[in-house]
Chain A
Amino acid sequence: MVQASLPVRLMRLGLGVAVLWLAFWGVGPRVVASVPALAHYGAVQDVYGIRSGALYYNDVDATQAAENNSRDSWRFTPQGPAHGG
Chain B
Amino acid sequence: MAENESNVVVDQGQTKLSDLWTKEDYWAIWLGFAILIAGMWLFLANPSPEFAQKVDKANGVMAAEAARAPFKTLAYYKAQDDKGKLQGMDTPSGKAIGAFLTTPGAWASDPLEAFVLSKEAADERNAAAKAKFESAKVKSDAALAAAQAAEAAAAGAAFADAALNTEAQAKIAEWRAEHAKMKAAEKKTKTKPFNIATSLPMLMVALGLFFAVGMKFMGHDVPKFLVGFIGVFFVAVLALMMGHQSTMKYWGIGAEAWAIIIGMLVANTVGTPSFIKPALQVEYYIKTGLVLLGAEVLFDKIIAIGIPGIFVAWVVTPIVLICTFIFGQKILKMPSKTLNIVISSDMSVCGTSAAIATAAACRAKKEELTLAIGLSLVFTAIMMIAMPAFIKAVGMPQVLGGAWMGGTIDATGAVAAAGAFLGEKALYVAATIKMIQNVLIGVVAFGVAVYWCARVECREGHSVGWIEIWHRFPKFVLGFLAASVLFSVISGSLGSDMSQIMVNQGVLKGLSSPLRNWFFCLAFTSIGLATNFRELAHYFKGGKPLILYVAGQSFNLVLTLAMAYVMFYIVFPEITAKI
**Cβ-defined contact, A77 with B578, below 8 A:** yes
Q: Which residues of A contact B247 (CB under 8 A)?
A: 24-25, 28-29, 32
- B364-385: CB near A (< 8 Å → 1, else 0) gives 0000000000000000000011
Give residues of chain B (537-579) contacting chain A, Cβ–Cβ below 8 Å: 578-579
**Cβ-defined contact, A53 with B513, below 8 A:** no
Q: Does B30 lie at the interface of the complex (its beta carbon under 8 Å from any beta carbon of A)?
A: no
**Cβ-defined contact, A53 with B421, below 8 A:** no
- A32-55: CB near B (< 8 Å → 1, else 0) gives 100101101110111111111111
Inter-chain CA distance A85–B71, complex, in Å, is 13
**Cβ-defined contact, A48 with B270, below 8 A:** no
**Cβ-defined contact, A52 with B66, below 8 A:** no
User: Known: A59-B517, A70-B579, A73-B579. Is A50-B66 also a contact (CB below 8 A)?
Assistant: no
Q: Does B435 lie at the interface of the complex (its beta carbon under 8 Å from any beta carbon of A)?
A: yes
- B427-452: CB near A (< 8 Å → 1, else 0) gives 11111101100100000000000000
* One of B10-18, B211-219, B314-322, B502-510 contacting the partner: B502-510
- Closest Cβ of chain B to A16, distance in Å, is 5
**Cβ-defined contact, B578 with A76, below 8 A:** no
Q: CB < 8 Å: which of B63, B243, B296, B385 contacts A41?
A: B385
**Cβ-defined contact, B421 with A57, below 8 A:** no
Inter-chain CA distance A84–B65, complex, in Å, is 10
Inter-chain CA distance A81–B250, complex, in Å, is 46
Q: Which residues of B contact A15 (CB under 8 A)?
A: 269
Q: Which residues of A contact B72 (CB under 8 A)?
A: 78
Q: Does B171 lie at the interface of the complex (its beta carbon under 8 Å from any beta carbon of A)?
A: no
**Cβ-defined contact, B384 with A41, below 8 A:** yes
**Cβ-defined contact, B84 with A65, below 8 A:** yes
- A1-33: CB near B (< 8 Å → 1, else 0) gives 001001001101101110010001100110110
User: Known: A41-B385, A47-B420. Is A80-B428 also a contact (CB below 8 A)?
Assistant: no
Q: Which residues of B contact A54 (CB under 8 A)?
A: 254, 411-413, 416
Inter-chain CA distance A63–B269, complex, in Å, is 40
**Cβ-defined contact, A53 with B270, below 8 A:** no
- Chain B residue nearest to A29 (CB atoms) is B247
**Cβ-defined contact, A37 with B385, below 8 A:** yes
Q: Does B226 lie at the interface of the complex (its beta carbon under 8 Å from any beta carbon of A)?
A: no
**Cβ-defined contact, A76 with B63, below 8 A:** yes
**Cβ-defined contact, A71 with B249, below 8 A:** no
- Closest Cβ of chain B to A40, distance in Å, is 7
Q: CB < 8 Å: which of A9, A53, A64, A75 contacts B500?
A: A64
Inter-chain CA distance A31–B411, complex, in Å, is 22
**Cβ-defined contact, A53 with B252, below 8 A:** yes
- Chain A residue nearest to B431 (CB atoms) is A66
Q: Which residues of A contact B350 (CB under 8 A)?
A: 56
Q: Which residues of A contact B252 (CB under 8 A)?
A: 52-53
**Cβ-defined contact, A65 with B412, below 8 A:** no
Q: Which residues of A contact B385 (CB under 8 A)?
A: 35, 37-38, 41
**Cβ-defined contact, B255 with A53, below 8 A:** yes
**Cβ-defined contact, B67 with A48, below 8 A:** no
Q: Does B209 lie at the interface of the complex (its beta carbon under 8 Å from any beta carbon of A)?
A: no
* One of B113-121, B144-152, B189-197, B301-309 contacting the partner: B301-309
**Cβ-defined contact, B413 with A52, below 8 A:** yes
Inter-chain CA distance A52–B339, complex, in Å, is 25
- Closest Cβ of chain B to A2, distance in Å, is 13
- Closest Cβ of chain A to B265, distance in Å, is 5
Inter-chain CA distance A36–B513, complex, in Å, is 34
**Cβ-defined contact, A13 with B158, below 8 A:** no
Q: Which residues of B contact A65 (CB under 8 A)?
A: 84, 428
**Cβ-defined contact, A53 with B254, below 8 A:** yes
**Cβ-defined contact, B181 with A32, below 8 A:** no
**Cβ-defined contact, B261 with A69, below 8 A:** no
Q: Which residues of A contact B284 (CB under 8 A)?
A: none
- Chain B residue nearest to A57 (CB atoms) is B435
- Closest Cβ of chain B to A57, distance in Å, is 4
Q: Which residues of A contact B476 (CB under 8 A)?
A: none
- Closest Cβ of chain B to A77, distance in Å, is 5
Q: Which residues of B contact A67 (CB under 8 A)?
A: 301, 304, 431-432, 435, 500
**Cβ-defined contact, A69 with B80, below 8 A:** yes
**Cβ-defined contact, A74 with B412, below 8 A:** no
Q: CB < 8 Å: which of A16, A32, A45 contacts B265?
A: A16
**Cβ-defined contact, B435 with A63, below 8 A:** yes
**Cβ-defined contact, B513 with A59, below 8 A:** yes
User: Known: A60-B431, A63-B435. Is A79-B416 also a contact (CB below 8 A)?
Assistant: no
User: Known: A55-B256, A79-B67. Is A41-B421 also a contact (CB below 8 A)?
Assistant: yes
Inter-chain CA distance A50–B251, complex, in Å, is 13
Q: Does B126 lie at the interface of the complex (its beta carbon under 8 Å from any beta carbon of A)?
A: no
Inter-chain CA distance A39–B270, complex, in Å, is 37
Q: Does B76 lie at the interface of the complex (its beta carbon under 8 Å from any beta carbon of A)?
A: yes
Q: Does B70 lie at the interface of the complex (its beta carbon under 8 Å from any beta carbon of A)?
A: yes
- Chain B residue nearest to A62 (CB atoms) is B416
Inter-chain CA distance A15–B159, complex, in Å, is 67
26 cross-chain CB contacts under 8 A: A12-B268, A24-B251, A44-B421, A48-B420, A49-B187, A52-B248, A53-B249, A55-B351, A55-B411, A55-B520, A56-B296, A60-B412, A62-B427, A63-B434, A66-B430, A66-B432, A67-B304, A67-B500, A70-B306, A74-B578, A75-B62, A76-B59, A76-B63, A78-B66, A78-B71, A80-B71
Q: A28-B251, A84-B67, A85-B67 are in contact. List 5 more A-B contacts (CB 8 A).
A: A44-B421, A53-B248, A54-B413, A66-B430, A85-B68
Q: Top 6 A-B pairs ranked by shortest CB distance?
A: A53-B254, A54-B413, A80-B70, A84-B67, A13-B269, A66-B431
